[in-house]
Structure 1
């Protein structure tokens, strides 16, 4: 399980502590929403209009989204990964959410490892530093902007997970 807790950051602290604290809390909620879930339920679609919006699909998407923003856009590394398949022209949109047959435990481990890489990048750079990838206009954003966006992105999908989990087995709870 991730080392982040489901505790809000301090009311009074520096900007980085608050941003990283909120980010860590949302990541921890992702893990919490998956606790005790079977692989069958993790891959079960409960939203007819969004068949890829499964617990497993969201965990995978969040893993690849972290890689996109912090490794690719911020550091300028190659645009590798299933999330770039459509951009490269060699796969469908949302390939990062197509994880049928991949155990939830593996997806959570991969997400946790990616979060650790992201945390190292965030810790090593100024919040004012801009991204470097030459092929994406979003890379012009500052690390601060990317971090705020990722808090929003992770929280948004944690909210999806709230609903999906309740539809799967009735489990509820924010933190």
Structure 2
């Protein structure tokens, strides 16, 4: 068995290195789960009760989660219409990507992850969200990193299942 795309952080690394490192590991597995998929399979709806749960839809969802948590929430960048969400739109609008090539979605995800890491590098782990947050309880950089590790890993589980249903491929190594 070969290693995942990004090496795990050292066991004795500092907290920031651990958090960013583990998030980068999860992010890198997203691309591994997409390797070798045709466009048709990347957009194939294999779960009748969840038609937005496609490989492409999940990649887009992960990209916009990165943007939402790090740029909108943590940095406080205002949404000036660049996101797929609208007040009267579908709650999962970011997953409507039937006409977007998987390679483009993966590149956009990688670019967003790089922006997230660049932002995190400038902030203390205790820095609080500057944008919209829930319940008058802003999250810290640390909280958001932990949440994105969980969020990305959870959706990797979905990608595992969808990939296995598509072509039988299992695992997360190259």
Which residue number in structure 1 is paired with residue 147 of structure 2? 149
Q: Structure 2 CA distance, aligned partners of 1:173 and 1:57? A: 20
Structure 2 residue 93 is the aligned partner of structure 1 residue 110: no
Shift of 1:6: 3.3
- The Cα shift of 1:158 comes to 0.7
**Larger mean Cα displacement after TM superposition, 19-28 or 4-13:** 4-13
Q: CA deviation at 1:174?
A: 2.4
Partner of 1:123: 121
TM-superposition CA deviations, 1:35-80 (whole Å, max 9, x none): 0001100000111111100000000000000000000000111134
What are the residue-to-residue correspondences of 1:47-66 with 2, within 5 Å? 47-66=47-66
Query: What's 2:45 paired with?
Result: 45
Q: Which has the higher contact order (CA 8 A, sep 6+)?
A: 2
Query: In 2, are the aligned partners of 1:5 and 1:25 still within 8 Å (CA)?
Result: yes
CA distance in 2, matches of 1:161, 1:137: 28
Are 1:23 and 2:9 matched, yes or no?
no
* Corresponding residue number in structure 2 for 1:34: 34
Q: For 1:9, what is the secondary structure of its paired residue?
A: coil
Kindly indicate which of the two structures has a greater share of residues assigned to helix: 1
Runs (4+) off by over 3 Å: none
Given that 2:42 and 2:102 are in contact with CA atoms closer than 8 Å, whether structure 1 keeps it comes out as yes
Q: Distance between the aligned counterparts of 1:17 and 1:61, measured in 2?
A: 25
Structure 1: runs of 5 or more not aligned:
none
Aligned length: 167
Q: TM-score, normalised by structure 2?
A: 0.91
Q: Which of 134, 159, 165 is equivalent to 1:137?
A: 134
Alpha-carbon distance in structure 1 between the residues aligned to 2:46 and 2:163: 9
TM-score, length-normalised on structure 1? 0.91
- Tell me by how many angstroms 1:93 deviates: 1.5
RMSD: 1.5
Listed as ranges, the gaps of 5+ residues in structure 2 are none
Q: Distance in 1 between matches of 2:172 and 2:60?
A: 21
The equivalent residue for 1:96 is 94
CA distance in 1, matches of 2:24, 2:5: 7
- How far 1:7 sits from its partner (Å)? 2.5
